[in-house]
A and B are shown apart, each in its own frame.
Chain A
Amino acid sequence: MILQIFIGLLALASVSLFVTQGRYKRVWSILLLCGLAAISYFFVINFNTGNQTGFIYQWLPYDMIKADFSISTSENIQHMLKPLIFMLSGLVYLNTIFKGEQHPLRINTLLILNFIALILLLSSHDFLQLMFAGSMFSVVGFYMSDTINPKKNIFIFSFLAETAIFMALTVVYGSTHSVSLDSLPQFAINGHHKDIVSGLLLFAIGCKSGLLLLNGHYFNLKNISSNRIVGIMLLSIPISAFGILIKVKPLLDATPLCRQVLPIWIYCSLATFIIIALFNNNIKSKMISLLLFCISFSLHFIYKDITLLYKLIPYILCISFFISVSFIIIYNSASKETDISYLGGFWRITKQNMILCLLLLFTSIAIFSRMPLNIYEKIFTFLFIITISSVFRRVFYSKPCKNDAILSNARNIGLLYSIPLIVVCCWFLWQTEFLMYKEFYWFSATSILSMIFVPSLKIDVIGRWSIWQDNFLSRFYEAVFIRPLKLFGRILWLAFDVMVIERGIINSISHLSKNIISGMHTIQEKSKYSWFFSMLIGIFIVVIYFFKDIYK
């Protein structure tokens, strides 16, 4: 069945890419949604029973290298895929009616391709499929961004991550002579250079998930439309980090350096994202920070206990989705995406939007309260709730916007948005049985208090710091690699190629040859018959030397 679902998704992606973008785009979108709904239905029906089905194509069937292209599922994978396929349907729905987007169908194609890549990544049993699926995310991510700078940054970081994975896995293959992912535990025990391999994989995961110091490319996304940001953050490159971490965890666990570095790195990242979300003035940066927080939080669970992850990942994915949707609603309040930074005191005009956002926030809180969290995780959850609540306060409650043009264009989103969202939120609230958990009351109280008391913080120093942090790696990269590289390249070019080789060696040989030839020329001119005779004798000697044994 997984093969049929896979092919169905591919067909849907093709349809949304090739169908006309003109008058009938809404009709096509509805058809696309119906297709996705049907696939989601079959997915749930078939895999609720815990069916483990698969499809295997023998790709490289040779003795020296065996690799299969496999699409399979297991109970754990289903835990991840189920919320994701609903999230995909939700995003396709939102994209279709999102007014700021010119080509919703093409974005939907990219979103579906991301989901396909995720199925491939999670089903991978060998390095080649793992790298193929990981790269597919990077390529799709390249097209998800429609502005040059974010596109460039996303692509460069993804390229570095893919190269790191490539190099790490080539070392493993060189040692184990197997492309199977099952060889990783064996390599972790007795493989050579496992520290280097783990370091490279850690770097790749950091780049993809946007951990501290490796997230400049994600913050650069603030220059693109909000639905594209949500598409990238929820279904694209960051989620591939989960898949890769799940697959290579045995190796990272076996390396002491990684065991120590990764948790500290994740905690520092979580703290940084909270700070950026609180103190940055740009609402898109705030959204990106909050989504990066969710990604790092998931990574934390993967690293902590992989079995726990499969239970918790649906929760975190749903929270990320609801938070993203609330931001998309906020963006839809303004006439243009650029006007969003002027929002403030909007609750008078867009009451319906505010109610919807609060509903989404409390649904997220209800989901949080169901999660088994330890004390540190609870602290981070509190901080997350404070942050998101302060953002809502800033948008809906703080000093009202004085720009009449923006105010006149501000409006509530339509019923097409709100009714399905209300239904989904109510269903989730009913399912979570949130009233049974005391954590819900604590989290809700924190949220309400934050909305009342936490002011809109605008501290320029911290804002600038966060912007500096956004570009930290770009600057670091420029200062440490690019400039020295260019300087070194120029020195090599001028000092060796031009000075030593061209002027030194080539010109010397050229002059020498010229002098010898002019000398020879003089000799030939003066005694050409003698020279011709000596040449003949020379050739005769050479021929005799080489062919002397032929007639033996």
Chain B
Amino acid sequence: MNNPFAILSLIISIPFFGMLFTLVAKESDETQGKNSSNVAIFTIIANLVMIWRVFMLIDEKQLKMQLFEKFNWISIPEINLVFAVDNTSLMMILAVHLVILMGIVFIRSMYEKQKSLMVFTLLFLSFSTGFFVSADIFSFFIFFEAMLIPLFMLIGMYGEFKRSERLSGFFLYNFIGSLILFVSILMIYKYYGSLTLNKTDKILWNKNFGYYIWAGLAIGFIWRIPVWPFHYWISSITARIHNPLVFIISSILPLSGIYGLIRFWPKYIPLEISQYFIWLSIIGSITMLFISMIGFINKDFQYKIFAFVTVYYIMYMLGLFTRNELVLNNIGYALYGFLMVFGALEVLSAYVYKLEQEYDTSSLGFLCRAKRLSISYSFLTIAAVGFPVSAMFTNNFLIVSELLSENIQMGSLLMLSSVISSATLISELFRLKNDDKNCQLGKNHDLSQGQFVFMMFIVFMLLMSFIRPLWFVINE
């Protein structure tokens, strides 16, 4: 495929330049931070147009990476930065852009002093796009770690917890994971050179170094996913963030671990190693059950959404370990639907939470009065619990079927966890629909017309993703 103007570098740099524009955007009491958010929204929409263009440049039927861009970074020793995309990575980029856009649209009228928030959000978007388009071990590692910088800043600014303790714990945790991954990347470079990600199957399984490399890679990626008992470092931070945009960004972090496994994890694993994978499955299933149960009893809605997100991330992780071709081909679509559903649900919940805080009242029965919110919230809950209205359904069907056929006990635990986390969301929906005369929130607090139209656009995208996820691609 032709890639005439380094389009992949462009989609990385547009959010970065948008960040620079946001930095110089003038804010005053009158604008209330809306200039920054306007610049951010414009940047993301511009980048979405470019992403759409990339979709049209690639052949979506081909599963391999396309549109290669190569930059010589260091000549001696030779280290090149390579960018390329395939369907999965593009779906991830599109979903991340859409959920961040959702977050910005919704916090626009909810929070003041948005400049720093927008700056770090765009920086994160630029790095995450870089991460998804990177096609060699070095650019992959650089962007994998670079994403943490804006995230730390955002968590530090918007997390509602004792900052020094939690942040130091979170930093320590990520630092150890990064260190392990860094050692693995160095070892790969030492033995295989600057390897591109479509050739990771070349890394051998042997007792000299192969086992250490694979162990390091596995730990480095799983470290980002809230797997028991290391989930606490992530849950204690994420569940205490009430700014929806920051929550969404912090919940995208485990996606980097999942994506790392998609890119690196080999198709064939020696028998003597694969027998130990049952332990990983057991730990994964226990974590899902553990977190879904805690989400069920927890009164904080952020934790409930965190539980929902974690259950699905772990399910996708376990699905990836099956290395089934069908799972690998479909996980991108499943994640695309999942990210949009969770992002939309999060912004709506945060909207309700913010109103509760502002009016110091309960939101019990709010949905009976707010029609627009009710329509959007009900649809998203229906999609989140697994009804066939988004790409999540069809692709989850394939992933769960692989997991069940591999190990029915583990698959059943997984289904149980999924049911519990869905029950958590359903109970929240019915709490909001349970008409209460004392509820002070009414029709006036409903979604604005603009927010509702945007939410309906997301609903439309989800419905279309169920029928044909790449409906917007017109191949030339």
Contacts and interface: CB of A to CB of B under 8 A. Distances in A.
B9 interface: no
Most chain-A CB neighbours within 10 Å: which of B293, B393, B411? B293
Interface in B280-311: 290, 293-294, 296-298
Contact of A128 (B76, B233, B388, B419): B388
Contacts of B435: 148
B20 interface: no
B232 A174 contact: no
A131 B187 CA distance: 48
Contacts of A526: none
- Which among A166, A485, A547 has the greatest number of chain B C-beta atoms within 10 A? A166
B326 A173 contact: no
A456 interface: no
Nearest to A542: B186
B13 interface: no
Interface stretch (A74-82, A391-399, A494-502): A494-502
Interface stretch (A103-111, A362-370, A503-511, A532-540): A503-511
Interface residues of A, number: 53
| Residue with the greatest number of chain A CB neighbours at <10 A, chosen from B397, B402, B434 | B397
Given A139-B387, A492-B290, A506-B232, A159 B404 contact: no
Contact of A174 (B187, B190, B233, B404): B404
Given A170-B404, A193-B408, A550-B77, A492 B293 contact: yes
Contacts of A430: none
Most buried by B among A138, A155, A170, A513: A170
Given A497-B232, A501-B232, A175 B77 contact: no
Interface residues of B, number: 55
A154 B309 CA distance: 26
A167 interface: yes
Contacts of B408: 171, 192-193, 196
Interface string B223-243: 000000100110110000000
A546 interface: yes
Interface stretch (B150-158, B165-173, B212-220): B165-173
A490 B293 CA distance: 8
B404 to A, nearest CB: 5
A128, A174, A549: which has the most chain B beta carbons within 10 Å? Answer: A174
Given A156-B426, A493-B294, A173 B387 contact: no
A417 interface: no
Given A65-B326, A510-B169, A148 B430 contact: yes
B401 A173 contact: yes
A489 B394 contact: no
B263 interface: no
Contact of B387 (A152, A162, A485): A162
Interface string A337-367: 0000000000000000000000000000000
A174 B401 contact: yes
Q: Among A167, A485, A550, find the residue whose CB has the most chain B CB atoms closer than 10 A.
A: A167
Contacts, number: 122
A64 B388 CA distance: 20
Contact of A505 (B229, B296, B394): B229
B401 A171 contact: yes
A151 interface: yes
Contacts of A163: 386, 415, 418-419, 422
A23 interface: no
A132 interface: yes
Interface in B366-416: 378, 382, 385-388, 393-394, 397-398, 400-402, 404-406, 408, 411-412, 415
Contacts of A60: 394
Interface in A117-165: 127-128, 131-132, 135, 138-139, 142, 148, 151-152, 155-156, 159-160, 162-163
Contacts of A513: 172
A132 B397 CA distance: 12
B405 A171 contact: yes
Contacts of A438: none
B232 A489 contact: no
A437 interface: no
B293 A166 contact: no
A517 to B, nearest CB: 11
B382 A139 contact: yes
A152 B429 CA distance: 9
Given A196-B408, A485-B296, A510-B169, A131 B77 contact: no
Interface string A310-339: 000000000000000000000000000000
Given A163-B415, A549-B190, A174 B405 contact: yes
A170 B397 contact: yes
Nearest to A129: B388
Interface string B147-183: 0000000000000000001001100100000000000
A131 B402 CA distance: 18
A192 B168 CA distance: 50
Interface in B329-355: 329
B272 interface: no
Contacts of A156: 423, 426
A510 B164 CA distance: 11
B405 A151 contact: no
Interface string A507-523: 00110010000000000
Minimum-distance CB pairs A-B, first 6 = A174-B405, A489-B293, A489-B297, A170-B401, A174-B401, A173-B401
27 contacts: A64-B325, A64-B329, A65-B398, A128-B388, A135-B387, A135-B388, A159-B385, A162-B386, A163-B415, A163-B422, A167-B400, A167-B404, A167-B412, A167-B415, A169-B397, A171-B401, A173-B397, A174-B401, A174-B405, A192-B405, A485-B293, A485-B420, A489-B297, A492-B294, A506-B232, A546-B186, A547-B190
Given A167-B404, A170-B397, A497-B294, 11 more contacts: A59-B467, A64-B329, A148-B435, A151-B433, A155-B426, A162-B386, A163-B386, A174-B406, A492-B290, A502-B232, A546-B186
Interface of A: 59-60, 64-65, 127-128, 131-132, 135, 138-139, 142, 148, 151-152, 155-156, 159-160, 162-163, 166-167, 169-171, 173-175, 192-193, 196, 485-486, 488-490, 492-493, 496-497, 500-502, 505-506, 509-510, 513, 546-547, 549-550
